[in-house]
Copies of this chain bind each other. A is one copy, B any other.
Amino acid sequence: MKLLRKVADEFGMGVVTEVVDSGDIELIESYADILQVGARNMQNFQMLKALGKSKKPIMLKRGLSATISEWLNAAEYILNEGNEQVIFCERGIRTYETFTRNTFDLSAVAAIKELSHLPIVADPSHGTGRRSMVAPMSRPAIAAGADGLIIEVHPHPEIAKSDGNQSLTPESFDELTKSLSAIANAVGRKI
């Protein structure tokens, strides 16, 4: 973890790390910039309460089959303890469809924008699970109002240790960034 922090500092990047147990919060807080709650822990209420006492921003991934209402309620567990820096993250929900790994639900992005003042980012890599769909779904995510995107990039996706199927190469990531910039302008935002 020290190494992760060191590399991030060297390259001017931020560190987002997933917390999977209340007992690990103190350690992870000491080096990460944002603490992530994974989809499988979205309703781990004890951990959410503990994160509400942290000074670091919390990125709260939507549960695999969480309703929008349950997701907002999960955020309340954090907010209620005094930590107001909650960032939602839409990462796809579980449906009967098998072509994509999950069903990337952009209406949830629009709904969160309507129902809450908190920021929301979208994760088309996990949301679709298919490299070919990451760019095509990044553009609508921004058009739907997402405040950010999580996109997995790997110089050689075919040998990636995890999630290679949904990773872009640095080149395709660069191209995507350009087209996103035009969309962002079209909806009155800037990248």
Contacts and interface: CB of A to CB of B under 8 A. Distances in A.
Interface stretch (A37-45, A53-61, A151-159): A37-45
Given A65-B65, A99-B111, A23 B20 contact: no
Contacts of A185: 182, 186
Contacts of A176: none
Number of copies: 4
A162 interface: no
A144 B137 CA distance: 6
A95 B104 CA distance: 12
Interface of A: 20-24, 40-41, 43-47, 63-65, 67-69, 93-100, 103-108, 110-111, 113-114, 127-128, 132-133, 136-137, 139-145, 179, 182-183, 185-187
Contact of A94 (B41, B47, B96, B179): B96
A107 B142 CA distance: 14
Contacts of A46: 20-21, 23-24
B45 A44 contact: no
A21 B20 contact: no
A139 B104 CA distance: 16
A127 B185 CA distance: 26
Contacts of A136: 110, 113-114, 144-145
